[in-house]
Amino acid sequence: MSYKLSCPMLVSTALMALLTTASLTAHASVTPDRTRLVFNESDKSISVTLRNNNEKLPYLAQSWLEDEKGNKITSPLAVLPPVQRIDAMMNGQVKIQALPDIHSLPSDRESLFYY
């Protein structure tokens, strides 16, 4: 069985491949200073620096915490501020604050949250 490729078919296939690979090289404009945060039992809060790498545009950065199932949490940790404007080539800071019910977390194992 032989297949004939027409010129429009070849062009559309090449265009599809190009668009697919172009999306893989996209860069984030707002990036955190690290990918993992460890909140020790003795900590009251920890901070994360966000950097806007865009040279011209400001961005709004929204921050929240999720549990291992992807559900937003409101306790025992809070993210402050939840939304902030970060101007071009500037830094912003997010504070992850322990709430009074932080002691409700199990003390015999680690708890995992996503930022």
The domain segmentation of the chain, as residue ranges, is: 28-104
Checking if the pLDDT of 86 tops 60, the result is yes
Is residue 55 helix, strand or coil? coil
Q: Among residues of the chain, what percentage have pLDDT more than 70?
A: 83
Polymer length of the chain: 115
Between CA 13 and CA 74 the distance in angstroms is: 47
Distance CA 52, CA 32 (A): 9
pLDDT at 22: 58
| Strand runs labelled E in the chain | 30-32, 45-52, 59-62, 77-80, 83-86, 91-98
CATH 2.60.40.10 is right for the domain spanning 28-104: yes
pTM, whole model, 2 decimals? 0.71
Q: Pick the residue with more confidence: 105 or 11?
A: 105
CA distance 57 to 30: 11
User: pLDDT tens across 45-76, in order?
Assistant: 999 999 999 999 999 999 999 998 999 998 99
